[in-house]
């Protein structure tokens, strides 16, 4: 049984959430709160497995309540937010993820709405999945710290490889890592970056706007057949696979879900392997499941640079862990080390044969 605390200031929405969540026999609602202050107090008193968190509330709002809970009594938190394209509330929801929330989810529509059954089922599934995540206590005002320096040698052959494309797969815990990465890349970064981020439908536009606004990097959702350009990050749109062809054009397609997902990391990685091979770098960030792991192995076999986020900095080590099991990984790096790797490649135009003291330490996975 998964014990849930519902935090929502609207009595109508609160009752809707209670009905929606308790319909699942494996979920038990242990309490409700209408303010951030109540949420902080009840999180300690009731010790729930998961908290669903509203954003806009009187007094302490959802962002500050999330931050306080993650500092004082770490609990998996799902932000349940209104979805209005790239609205202020949607973008504000991502600030709650910076504070420690794991996922975003739209508020269910009324019972009579056609989408209710699907959204309700996805919400209860997400609650049960998030209950399995082991969250850790957050330190107040923790910054993006660099790791200790040391000499390290690159694990591949001496042949240098020109990188023309970077592809990234990301899921639970990934949005905040992407925000950190793009905050530390130069605005004139010369290599196009394509990203598949697993996220509830309706939030991608807001996420893209938030990422662009908070980092200053050129982040956008592409249109079909858009030609990729340097200094730009492209995020796959809702419900369409994003691929790349030999001409450098992004192709958006409506094929069946892969690994139960559309867009799928696997779909993007497979076309990167097909058309870019050794001239690509691929990264799997924090996330549940195995999307992209097998295709990362294909990329490594084609001599591409393959990277996964390290376990210590990952919220969920599903996707990176699966890739390691398949021997698909060349480098296991912290977010800061990923930034330094990207910047090193951009500076010299190729994947270096040796990472010296100018870069951070790397944990290498040998073949």
361 backbone dihedrals φ, ψ, rounded to 5°: -65, 145
Half-sphere exposure for 107 (CA within 13 Å, toward CB): 24
Beta bridge partners of 241: 253
What residues are annotated to the active site?
A: 171, 198, 291
What is the C-alpha to C-alpha distance for residues 17 and 29, in angstroms, rounded to an integer? 10
| CA 327 to the chain's CA centroid | 22
Helix (H) or strand (E) holding 32: strand 27-33
What is the C-alpha to C-alpha distance for residues 103 and 127, in angstroms, rounded to an integer? 10
258 backbone dihedrals φ, ψ, rounded to 5°: -115, 130
Q: Residue 35 in contact with residue 107, Cβ under 8 Å?
A: no
What is the C-alpha to C-alpha distance for residues 140 and 131, in angstroms, rounded to an integer? 23
């Amino acid at each position: 049984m998964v014990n849930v605390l519902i935090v929502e200031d609207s009595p109508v929405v609160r009752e809707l959430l209670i009905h929606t969540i308790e319909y699942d026999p494996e979920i038990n609602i242990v309490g409700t709160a209408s303010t951030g202050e109540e949420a902080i107090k009840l999180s300690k008193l009731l010790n729930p497995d998961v908290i669903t968190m509203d954003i806009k509330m009187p007094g302490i709002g959802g962002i500050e309540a999330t931050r306080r809970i993650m500092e004082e009594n770490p609990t998996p938190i799902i932000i349940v937010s209104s979805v209005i394209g790239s609205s202020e509330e949607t973008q504000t929801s991502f600030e709650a993820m910076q504070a420690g929330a794991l996922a975003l989810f739209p508020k269910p529509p009324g019972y009579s709405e056609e989408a209710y059954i699907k959204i309700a089922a996805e919400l209860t599934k997400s609650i049960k999945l998030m209950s399995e995540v082991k969250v850790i206590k957050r330190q107040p005002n923790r910054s993006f710290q660099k790791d200790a320096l040391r000499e390290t040698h690159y694990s591949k052959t001496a042949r240098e490889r020109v990188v023309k494309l970077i592809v990234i797969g990301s899921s639970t815990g990934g949005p905040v890592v992407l925000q950190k990465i793009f905050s530390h890349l130069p605005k004139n970064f010369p290599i196009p970056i394509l990203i598949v981020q697993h996220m509830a439908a309706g939030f991608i536009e807001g996420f893209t706007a938030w990422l662009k606004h908070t980092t200053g990097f050129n982040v956008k959702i592409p249109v079909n057949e858009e030609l990729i350009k340097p200094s730009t990050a492209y995020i796959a749109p809702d419900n369409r696979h994003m691929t790349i062809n030999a001409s450098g054009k992004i192709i958006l397609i409506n094929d069946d879900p892969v690994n139960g997902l559309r867009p799928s990391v696997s779909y993007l990685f497979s076309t990167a392997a097909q058309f870019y091979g050794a001239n690509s770098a691929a990264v799997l960030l924090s996330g549940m499941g195995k999307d992209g792991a097998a295709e990362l192995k294909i990329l490594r076999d084609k001599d591409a640079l393959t990277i996964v986020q390290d376990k210590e900095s990952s919220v969920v080590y599903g996707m990176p862990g699966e890739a390691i099991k398949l021997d698909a990984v060349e480098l296991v790096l912290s977010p800061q080390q990923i930034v330094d790797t990207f910047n090193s490649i951009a500076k010299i135009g190729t994947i270096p044969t040796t990472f010296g003291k100018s870069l951070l330490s790397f944990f290498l996975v040998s073949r």
